[in-house]
């Protein structure tokens, strides 16, 4: 093939935009940053979290989805955010209605060991690129309901405390104190996020329904949209650690 023609066709293929099946033009099929960085840099815990949150948001906000309840990526591929009964999160990709591979916070898992891993990495990078472009609002990443049901909204820049009032309490007497909003540093957010993640990842302690005195961790997709919820027993070490850390902001 004539070299100039080949280069033109190659450039056209790599820049042709896809549509998500509901009329929304998507970003490029291959990540716009893909050619500038190794593919492995797409696979990280932070990138997975961002992409998983984006896939959750996409499913909740699309007016219509395909008949299988999955998001159309293009070229016969679809994907969905999945959280198993054990709380394990993954993004599952399908090719022509057959599961092809999945991605979790640690690795990419092909269904077939002979699969083209380079292509699968590119597909994940493409969804990551769309997640970055969407720039979902997340002033708050978590909400925590403590054992008395006071609510803590927790984000990278601030914590907002919404206490139970006597009128809201079952006893008609209890008060969680005064509401407040306080700035948090990057180091402080990292500390509380580590404690929250310790609670939400310890599946062995999670309760099926909320009991009196238990704690509740809510992962947020956006400031107002709930992703996943985890219930911690009243006497658990994880709950105690979270509430002890948050308690410093009351003083």
Helix (H, G, I), strand (E, B) or coil at 43: coil
pLDDT digits (tens, 9 = 90+) for 5-39: 444 444 433 333 333 433 333 333 333 333 334 45
Residue 2 confidence class, pLDDT cut points 50, 70, 90: low
Among 30-34, 159-163, 245-249, the range scoring the smallest mean pLDDT is: 30-34
Looking at residues 220-224, what average pLDDT do you find? 91
CA-angle at 84, arms to 221 and 52, nearest 5°:
30
Residue spans of the domains in the chain: they are: 19-134, 142-250
With 60 as the cut, is the pLDDT of residue 116 above it?
Answer: yes
Answer yes or no: are the C-beta atoms of 65 and 73 closer than 8 Å: no
pLDDT of 246 reads: 96
Looking at residues 132-156, what average pLDDT do you find? 93
What is the distance between the alpha carbons of residues 83 and 108, in angstroms, rounded to a whole number?
16
Residues in the chain: 251
Do the bridges between strand 151-154 and strand 215-220 make them parallel or antiparallel, or are there none, so unpaired? unpaired
Helix (H, G, I), strand (E, B) or coil at 12: helix
200 contact partners, CB below 8 Å, separation of at least 6: 87, 217, 219, 228, 230
C-alpha dihedral (22, 27, 29, 33), degrees to nearest 10: -160
Nearest to 238 by CA among 198, 208, 209: 198
Helix (H, G, I), strand (E, B) or coil at 209: coil
pLDDT digits (tens, 9 = 90+) for 48-87: 999 999 999 998 887 666 677 899 998 889 999 998 877 7
Average pLDDT, the chain: 83
Task: Work out the number of other CB atoms within 10 angstroms of the CB of residue 201.
Answer: 13
Which position has the higher pLDDT, 227 or 13?
227
pLDDT digits (tens, 9 = 90+) for 122-137: 999 999 999 999 988 8
pLDDT of 169 reads: 87
Instruction: List, in sequence order, every residue forming a beta bridge with 79; answer none if it has no partner.
Output: 71, 93
107 contact partners, CB below 8 Å, separation of at least 6: 43
Helix (H, G, I), strand (E, B) or coil at 229: strand
Answer yes or no: are the C-beta atoms of 124 and 138 closer than 8 Å: no
With 60 as the cut, is the pLDDT of residue 165 above it?
Answer: yes
Tell me the helices (H) and strands (E) count for the chain, helix number first. 5, 13
Longest dimension (CA), the chain: 83
pLDDT of 64 reads: 62
Nearest to 220 by CA among 132, 159, 136, 104: 136
**Sheet with 71-74, side-by-side order of all strands:** 71-74, 77-83, 89-95, 98-103, 108-110
């Amino acid at each position: 093939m004539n070299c100039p023609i080949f280069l033109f066709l190659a450039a056209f293929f790599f820049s042709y935009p896809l549509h998500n099946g509901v009329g929304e033009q998507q970003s490029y099929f291959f990540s716009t940053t893909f050619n500038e960085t190794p593919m492995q840099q797409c696979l990280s815990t932070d990138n997975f979290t961002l992409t998983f949150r984006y896939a959750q948001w996409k499913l909740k906000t699309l007016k219509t989805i395909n008949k299988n309840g999955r998001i159309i990526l293009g070229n016969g591929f679809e994907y969905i955010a999945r959280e198993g009964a054990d709380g394990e999160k993954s993004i599952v990709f399908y090719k022509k209605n057959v599961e092809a591979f999945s991605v979790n916070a640690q690795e990419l898992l092909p269904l077939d060991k002979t699969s083209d891993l380079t292509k699968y990495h590119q597909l994940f990078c493409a969804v990551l690129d769309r997640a970055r472009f969407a720039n979902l609002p997340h002033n708050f990443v978590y909400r925590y309901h403590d054992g008395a049901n006071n609510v803590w909204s927790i984000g990278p820049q601030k914590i907002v405390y919404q206490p139970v009032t006597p009128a809201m309490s079952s006893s008609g007497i209890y008060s969680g104190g005064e509401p407040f909003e306080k700035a948090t540093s990057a180091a402080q957010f990292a500390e509380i996020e580590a404690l929250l993640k310790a609670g939400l990842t310890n599946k062995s302690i999670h309760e099926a329904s909320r009991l009196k005195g238990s704690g509740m961790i809510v992962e947020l997709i956006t400031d107002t949209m709930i992703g996943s919820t985890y219930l911690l027993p009243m006497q658990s070490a994880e709950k105690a650690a979270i509430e002890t850390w948050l308690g410093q902001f009351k003083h």
